Amino acid sequence: MKSLKIMIPVMLLAIIAATIFVPNKGMTQTDVPLFKDYQVVEVQPFEVPLNVAAPEHAGHDLANETVYQIIRYSDKFNLFELVIMEGAHKVPAGRKVLLVKGTITAYSTQGTCATTFQFVDKASGQVLPVQETEAQGFTFRVANYIARVIYIYKVGR
């Protein structure tokens, strides 16, 4: 009986934590590999509007974490030739570049944030039609979510 009194609150806390700290959008399965022709990904530092109480480095930090997560997926599944912060390196000529950019819409000192993001064909400036454009949770989970969206639209699964 004593263990049941402890187990129920612990399970409730785990369920609540899972719903709070996991990005809020479900992943769409796609048969159309929208990003299949891209060889390079550039991540732009996320914008932080003045009305969001976040440190000025929060946008850069989220972009760095996003680069790291995309590199993890790229190394594991051989997705891209190069994954960089925008402007960090010169992109080889003739490579198609996918630009990731976004805005931090909410921020917490506990390390959670909410974002909107988009994927842009860098050469044309055209925003690509992707359904998943929002995420919230711990910064590393938001960055991982963005990397998973790229993976799904790169391989078409």
pLDDT tens for each residue of 127-137? 999 989 999 99
What are the structure tokens assigned to 106, written together?
Answer: 């909410």
More confident site: 20 or 98? 98
Q: What are the percentages of helix, strand and coil residues in the chain, rounded to 5? A: 35, 25, 40
Q: Which of 67, 58, 29 is nearest to 138 (CA)?
A: 58
pLDDT of residue 31: 63
* 76-89 confidence digits (pLDDT tens): 999 999 999 998 98
Question: What is the CATH code of the structural domain delimited by 2-155?
Answer: 3.40.50
The CA distance from 100 to 117, in Å, is 7
pLDDT of residue 24: 47
| Average pLDDT of span 54-62 | 95
DSSP code, position 125: -
The CA distance from 146 to 101, in Å, is 10
The answer to whether 133 touches 149, Cβ cutoff 8 Å, is no
Is 127 strand, coil or helix? strand
Which residues are registered as beta bridge partners of 119?
A: 100
Least confident segment among 14-18, 54-58, 100-104, 113-117: 14-18
pTM: 0.81
Write down the mean pLDDT value for the chain: 88
How are beta strands 82-85 and 97-107 bridged, if at all? unpaired
Contacts of 93 (CB under 8 A, 6+ apart): none
